[in-house]
Amino acid sequence: MERDRSITLGDIEQAHGRFASERANLVARNAVTSAGVRSAARDPEIASRATTTFDIQLEQGEICDQKRSGRCWMFASLNTMRYRIMKKLGLKTFELSQAYPLFWDKYERSNWFFENIIATAADELASREVAYLLRDPLGDGGQWDMFRSLVKKYGVVPKEAMPETACSSSTGDLNKYLTRYLRHGAKRLRDAVAGGADAAALDAIKRELMDGVYRVLAICLGEPPATFDVRIRDEKNELKASGTYTPQAFFAEFVDMDLDAYVSVINAPTEDKPYMRSYTVKYLGNVVEDGTVRYVNLPIEALRRAAVAQLEDGLPVWFGSDVDQGFLRDDGVIDPEALDVDRLFDLPIEAGLDKAARLDYGESLMTHAMTLQGVNLDEAGEPTLWRIENSWGADRGKKGYDIGSARWFDEYVYQVVVDRKYLTAEELAAYESEPVELAPWDPMGALAR
């Protein structure tokens, strides 16, 4: 029998009758139309459970603000590094420049883009991979491995050595016009390949294009310092550090962090990504000579264990999550139970998909990077609440911090970056194995888009 695919007037009348016959529907309609879904679904009891005191609690200093930019991965990375500087020098607060890595990421990512355009020049312009490369070649997002590559090559600088500009605080126009220039460059390179240009000719075109990229970045962000003077005083006005440094020397002396010791652990419980395997994402990277990213996929219990162990050793943890799920922004609470959406609509909206299905069906992915700065543990040593340092300024949440529930961590945290010493020998061997290459649009690469 052929299916009736249309909606009839009878269908609409029945839907209206069923809706209007339920008192709860009318109460929910009044609440949502007046206050919105989140306000109507907010559970005040869950919001009130959040604490500001933790069993393990690291103190970071003043909260940073990424403003109108997608640099969360940079802010989270720099927050793990500035913590080391504060601890080393006995400072109450300190901030590293976020404009400095932004410059070098845009510069290196432009080169990465041009190299990928040359590599795919024989492919049809309408192919899915070429279309993917052209869609957003210069987004603000990124991954820990990409930040590690930048710091290994360019180091870090104090914020005063390269302060924020209008274009670093609000990257929209910078990205818009530089992306247009990159697409122009892509056409030049593809046309050159089609015309039979050799490697030397392509290199000459790319060098010219990269000079243009540098010009745009220098105009928008200022030129990065090759050297800078340092004078750092503590709260008692005692001089704790002084001298002239290169960015690399400053990182080596004051951050003193073995970047290669830190590995990315993901939790993607989907059939296409078996646990205890290493993965990478095609075309995801920035510094050409340092390669792409690498993850090891482990059960969520391993992510919890490693994150707690690093916090117990007094170091914050970089992590990536789907931050908007169960998020009461004004309260600074992240908990799937904080928004009772299913009861509000009397439908399986939140409960309808598990973690694997949310990834498979496009409902969830990594959207934001932050740092774990504390944790509460139960009698068995399992985490019950997480203290999260955000990068959206101190005037929101709990003075810039958020409180994440254990369930939220399990359901919506997809990645932690920890010292490899917190992995078992078997887990580390899995990380070191030859990685499986994921498609460029795989959700495990979402944070970099």
Give pLDDT, residue 288. 98
Give pLDDT, residue 48. 87
**79 is a catalytic site residue:** no
Q: How far is CA 80 from CA 60, 154, 311, 418, in A?
A: 9, 17, 12, 11
**16 is a catalytic site residue:** no
Phi, psi of 63 (to 5 degrees): -75, 140
Q: Kindly state the tokens that stand for 432.
A: 């070191």
Give pLDDT, residue 47. 87
What does the DSSP assignment read for 99-111? Answer: HHHHHHHHHHHHH
3-state secondary structure of 424: coil
Give pLDDT, residue 99. 98
| Average pLDDT value for residue range 62-85 | 97
**286 is a catalytic site residue:** no
Higher-pLDDT residue of 51 and 136 is: 136
What is the β-pairing status of strands 262-266 and 295-297?
parallel
User: What is the CA 358 to chain-centroid distance, rounded?
Assistant: 18
CA distance 76 to 318: 6
Answering whether pTM is above 0.85, one says: yes
Nearest alpha carbon to residue 203 among 29, 293, 211: 211
Largest alpha-carbon pair distance within the chain? 85
**Which residues have C-beta within 8 Å of that of residue 71, sequence separation ≥ 6?**
98, 102, 140, 171, 391
Quickly state the pLDDT bin for 449 (edges 50, 70, 90).
confident
Q: Kindly state the tokens that stand for 146.
A: 């990409």
The answer to whether 100 and 224 have CB atoms below 8 angstroms apart is: yes
Tokens 């969830």, residue? 364
For 386-395, how does the pLDDT look when each residue is reduced to its tens digit (9 = 90+)? Answer: 999 999 999 9
| Average pLDDT value for residue range 133-139 | 95
For 219-276, how does the pLDDT look when each residue is reduced to its tens digit (9 = 90+)? Answer: 999 999 999 999 999 999 999 999 999 999 999 999 999 999 999 999 999 999 999 9
Catalytic residue among 64, 72, 167, 220: 72
Backbone dihedral region for residue 388 (phi beyond 0: left; psi -120 to 50: alpha; all else: beta): beta
What value does the mean pLDDT of the chain take? 96
Tokens 């929910």, residue? 28
Count CA atoms within 13 Å of residue 232 on its CB side.
Answer: 26
CA distance 233 to 78: 20
User: What is the CA 261 to chain-centroid distance, rounded?
Assistant: 20
Helix (H) or strand (E) run with residue 263 in it: strand 262-266
CA dihedral 348, 351, 353, 359 (to 10 degrees): 120
Catalytic residue among 79, 220, 286, 368: 368
SS3 content of the chain, % helix, strand, coil (to 5): 45, 15, 35
CA distance 266 to 277: 10
Sign, Cα dihedral of 285, 116, 444, 168:
positive
1 pLDDT higher than 80: no
Catalytic residue among 79, 116, 376, 390: 390
277 pLDDT higher than 90: yes
| Average pLDDT value for residue range 415-426 | 98
Q: Kindly state the tokens that stand for 187.
A: 């056409």
Q: Kindly state the tokens that stand for 277.
A: 């395997």
Q: State which amino acid sits at residue 195.
A: G
Return the DSSP state at 65. Answer: B
Give pLDDT, residue 52. 85
Give pLDDT, residue 268. 98
Q: Kindly state the tokens that stand for 312.
A: 């117990």
Q: Kindly state the tokens that stand for 402.
A: 């958020």
Q: Kindly state the tokens that stand for 56.
A: 């393990």
CA distance 172 to 293: 26
Q: What percent of the chain has pLDDT over 90?
A: 96
Q: Kindly state the tokens that stand for 375.
A: 């944790």
Tokens 């247009």, residue? 180
Backbone dihedral region for residue 155 (phi beyond 0: left; psi -120 to 50: alpha; all else: beta): left
For 95-113, how does the pLDDT look when each residue is reduced to its tens digit (9 = 90+)? Answer: 999 999 999 999 999 999 9
User: What is the CA 330 to chain-centroid distance, rounded?
Assistant: 21
What is the β-pairing status of strands 333-334 and 401-405?
parallel
H helix runs in 340-444, sequence order? 341-345, 355-360, 406-412, 425-432
284 pLDDT higher than 90: yes
